[in-house]
Structure 1
Amino acid sequence: MNINQLLKRSRYHSKTVAVAVWLSACSLTNANMPAWALLPAAVDGEPLPSLAPMLAETVPGVVNVSTITEIAATEHPLLRDPFFRRFFDIPGHQRNRESQSLGSGVVIDAKRGIILTNHHVVRAADAIRVTFDDGRRLEAELVGSDPETDIAVLRVESDDLTAVPLADSDALQVGDFVVAIGSPFGLAHTVTSGIVSALGRTGLGIEGYESFIQTDASINPGNSGGPLVNLRGELVGINTAILAPGGGNVGIGFAIPTNMVSIVLEQILEHGSVRRGLFGAGVQDLTPEIASALDLDLFRGAVVASLEPDSPALRAGLRPGDVITAVDGRAINSANDLRSRVGLLPPGTRIELELLRDGKTRRLKAKIDDPYADFIHGETLSSALEGALIGEAVRRTNRTKTRVVVVGPLRPGSPAWQNGLREGDLIVQANRRAIAQLDDLAAALKSAGGLYSAQVFRDGQLLLLARR
């Protein structure tokens, strides 16, 4: 036997011995261990924990929300020429195309058929349908929505609904287990679980008012509007967004807490929209530099930077430089925190502020004003403005102040809404007549017998609205 054969045989023998030793060790080790297939159904007489019983009661209250929006199809300029159309026998009507979107929702009032979802799920929808886990599909009516908080309220007609109870989201703690239910990528009633990763997330630039629950429960496109529930099956938040640098889920999702949702829900059910009060204080974050300048050993709070004339903040006794640390006993961590806390309060709400001034703690009381107190109901001017509040305001530019007619909150689907008006519009013309005050608008509507055209200033653009 040559040396190569000897080495080959030696290597084979050593491998055989090694495998035999490993198998022997495994057999000795596994002698006292149950196989995975024999995992017990109970430990110490107690069944293994499972989410199944809770989900059996919760999932029937979760819906798939689908919308259809008609969009005017773009045309070649030649197709706008009546002669060209007639010559080539092209139909004169404009073709529309349908756009579809998908999201989730949750029933929170079975008797009234009230469903919560996200505003961005149903925005500009011409038709809304909801599908339940038993296969039922119902047409839904948009009661109202609020873009600033991304909350929308739907209503369906049905006698057999299951509601998900609301929990106190202020009782949540970081580390609590939560479950997200929804239709990611159209996969209806998908369930994922995780924990509360953080509370009160602000400054993300996702919405106007932010105080998010952050969770690592997997949230993906299609989960929007669906519920985030605790282990008792109670609603703690409405899933709304994810942080996805690469386009996929990375375990950072955000939900709107139910306590914020409840404030918005109550106003939408009562008015069809959210009517926010006016406080009149401009604030900024308490940075280490500002804290040092004010000689404060504090790094959380909102610093009062400015006050509007004759505002609730000024009447309450606030001064520039005050550091607001709490509202109604709840700590304020930042300017965004204060804005979310106070900005959602309805007019007439009384609040107590805790603040630091000259190194001393003070408490002040304030009452939130109604910015639309002097507005009138649009139907008093014309049936074309029914469902909207209309009033006068002062528009300030760098050098001038001019009075303008502004549209306040309005009910979706109302005559004013159907005529193209939206909250915040400045009406500069109506029926080709210049508008500077309510009397001008009343005269223009009366002489024409309604609203047939209007020019409005919206989001920095001048738009022409024409009645079809």
Structure 2
Amino acid sequence: MQVKLTNFRSLLRCSLYFVSITSIVLIINSFTYESAAIGTLSETFVSVTKDIKVSVVNIRTVKASKQDMLNKERRNPLKNIFPRNLPPVQSGKGLGIKGQGSGIIYDKKGHIITNYHVIKDADEIIATLYDGREFKAELTGIDKKTNIAVLRIDAENLTPAKFGNSDSLELGEIVLAIGNLPGLGQTVTSGIISTKGTSNIQIAGYEDFIQTDATLNPGNYGGPLVNLHGEVVGISTVIPTRTGGYFGISFAIPINTAKEVTEDLIAYGKVTRGWLGITAQPITPQLQEILGLKNNLGTLISNIEPSSPAANAGIKSGDVVIEYDGKKVKDLFHLRNLVTRTEINKEVKLIVIRHSKELKLNTTIVERSKANTRNKKDLFKNLGLIVQNLTSELAINLGYEGEKGVIITNIQKETPAFKAGLKIRDLIVGIQHKAVTSIDEFYQAILNIQHGDDILMLVKRQNRTSKFIVLKQDKDD
């Protein structure tokens, strides 16, 4: 019995030794694997940085100060009388207001992509390459709506960057933000892709940003956002803060957008954009409930321009666009970005929801013409209200059965509409003593009124009361 107990203890001891040794080996292997993984990632960072750094440019701008401008414009009436006795006018050298940022070499012809705000109002632009060479840069073109500027330098032996596909980026993908700062040289920070398609943050007119947590400082603006294959997938852009400093998230213009804008600026000096010819609005929880929608994806059409692609497609006020050219529409801003990026004269398919049914429509996108929308856009932006046709569905839900007119769906604060006392869900049935039964009639009635004249509206409210309301237009141009 004693022998068996001794053998059992020996076996147990050996088992414990085996488990301990195995655990130690596994731990060591784990540390070895983690160290190898970290080492590999670090080597990748170094390799990518070495490859891209020759394509990253420092952009330095100079704007003449007021004093410098005064000196240049100074004229002395005694100059022609006593030309030799006058003290020389100082050139103002050194008084320039300087700015800085980064850029990326686009092609061997010397084109460079950067942010528009980096070179805005510059009197002189200097591009410094990785090898220290400096060149005076000429402005090829700008696009304020995307915050893109294209420069050109007359230089040889340039190394253009490799460009990736920003549409294929995945959330969680590691990226590097690279800049070229005076006095510091190349700067590199890392982060991950947090979100794609970020919009409505008031950085630029057309917003479809890549969001990342890579640290950005003003000197990085205009520089590349690079994936681990060494491909540029975005152009770092300004952060929407008062100080301009980093606060946990950063934004980049997708390289697909930047390349399209760059090609247009190089070829035409301007950007051509697609136009659908609609006025649309976000789908709020209230509208979602009223319209009986399953979710708040898509955008609600409130007006269609006559003879526009939207009109030709058969889109109607009250339709909800949920798909455009094979892509699901997330919201108003997403649709706008999709349309503006569409190739001119391309035929596209749309899916809309009308009276709870999906309809497939086709149209051909044309080039945006400011003349088509400028007057209405400016006027109704100043009035501060958004309207849409009173559909039968809305009439039932809002208690306006049997009525005709346009329903107010949004009012901006501190605008003529707000100050006049108009309210969301008010029904406008008349303008200047004339009946209004549709958005087209409403627009035409407003446009017929002389700029600066008061606008008399007859509105009805959900309690069935009627009221005349006067909108006072801003008389300043």
Q: Provide TM-score, normalisation by structure 2.
A: 0.64
Match of 1:310 among 307, 312, 328: 307
Deviation at 1:324? 1.0
Is contact 2:58-2:181 (8 Å) kept?
no
- Matching of residues 339-350 of structure 1 within 5 Å: 339-350=336-347
Q: Distance in 1 between matches of 2:217 and 2:38?
A: 35
Paired residue for 2:99, among 83, 98, 101? 101
How many Å separate the matches in 2 of 1:145 and 1:282? 26
Kindly state the Cα deviation for residue 365 of structure 1 after the two structures are TM-superposed: 1.7
Aligned residue for 1:182, secondary structure, equals strand
Q: Is the counterpart of residue 53 in structure 1 residue 51 in structure 2?
A: no
Task: Confirm or deny: 8 A CA contact 2:110 2:158 kept in the other structure.
Answer: yes
Q: For the residues of structure 2 that align with 1:253 and 1:213, how far apart are their CA atoms? A: 8
Which residue in the other structure is 1:68 paired with?
Answer: 62
For 1:158 and 1:82, locate their aligned partners in 2 and report how far apart those are by CA, in whole Å. Answer: 42
1:338 aligns with 2:371: no
* Amino acid of the structure 2 residue aligned with 1:138: F
Query: Match of 2:361, SS?
Result: strand
Counterpart in 2 of 1:136?
133
Question: Please, which runs of 5 or more residues in structure 1 have no aligned partner?
Answer: 1-31, 34-38, 374-390, 400-459, 463-468
What is the one-letter code of the residue matched to 1:65? Answer: I
Pairing 1:39-438 to 2, within 5 Å after superposition: 48-50=40-42, 51-73=45-67, 97-109=95-107, 111-183=108-180, 187-244=184-241, 248-371=245-368
TM superposition shift of 1:70? 2.5
1:388 aligns with none
- Report how many aligned residue pairs link the two structures: 346
Unaligned runs of 5+ in 2: 1-23, 26-30, 381-474
**SS of the counterpart of 1:73?**
helix
Query: In structure 2, how many angstroms separate the alpha carbons of the residues matched to 1:337 and 1:392?
Result: 21
Q: Secondary structure of 1:263's partner?
A: helix
Distance 1:304-1:72 versus aligned 2 partners, 3 A rule: same
Distance in 2, matches of 1:184 and 1:135, equals: 12
Secondary structure of the structure 1 residue equivalent to 2:149: strand
| Aligned equivalents of 2:233, 2:176: Cα separation in 1 | 10
Question: How far, CA to CA, are the matches of 1:204 and 1:258 in structure 2?
Answer: 19
Deviation at 1:64, TM superposition (A): 0.5
1:153 positional shift: 1.0
User: Residue type of the partner of 1:49?
Assistant: L
Letter in 2 for 1:303: L
Instruction: Work out the CA distance in 1 between the residues paired with 2:374 and 2:230.
Output: 49
1:52 CA displacement? 0.7
Q: Aligned residues: percent identity?
A: 37
- Superposed displacement of residue 46, structure 1: 9.8
The answer to whether the 8 Å contact 2:195/2:212 transfers is yes
State the AA in 2 paired with 1:218: T
Q: CA deviation at 1:89?
A: 7.2
Contact 2:141–2:270 (CA under 8 A) maintained in structure 1: yes
**Contact persistence 2:68–2:96 (CA under 8 A):** no
Residues 184 and 221, structure 1, Cα contact 8 Å, conserved in 2: no
Aligned-residue offset at 1:187: 3.0
CA gap of 1:82–1:138, structure 2 versus 1, over 3 A, is closer
Distance, in Å, in 2 between the alignment partners of 1:363 and 1:104 is 45
Which letter does structure 2 place at the counterpart of 1:137?
E
| Letter paired with 2:251 | F
The one-letter amino acid of 1:146's match is D
* 1:216 aligned partner, one-letter code: D
CA contact (8 A) 1:243 1:252 kept: no
- Counterpart of 1:436 in structure 2 is none
Output the amino acid matched with 2:41. P
Does the C-alpha gap of structure 1 residues 71 and 341 become closer, same or farther in structure 2, counting only changes over 3 Å?
A: farther
Shift of 1:167: 0.9
Structure 2 CA distance for partners of 1:251 and 1:186, relative to 1, 3 Å = farther
Aligned AA for 1:324?
V
Which 10-residue stretch deviates more, 349-358 or 88-97? 88-97
Higher helix proportion (structure 1 or 2):
2
1:218 touches 1:251 (CA, 8 Å); kept in 2? yes
Query: How far is the alpha carbon of 1:199 from its aligned partner?
Result: 0.8
Task: Return the offset for 1:335.
Answer: 0.8
Other structure's SS at 1:49 match: helix
Alignment partner of 2:135: what SS? strand
Provide closer, same or farther for how the CA distance between residues 393 and 286 of structure 1 changes in structure 2, counting only shifts above 3 A: closer
In 1, distance between residues paired with 2:351 and 2:145? 26
2:286 is matched by which residue type in structure 1? E
SS at match of 1:189: strand
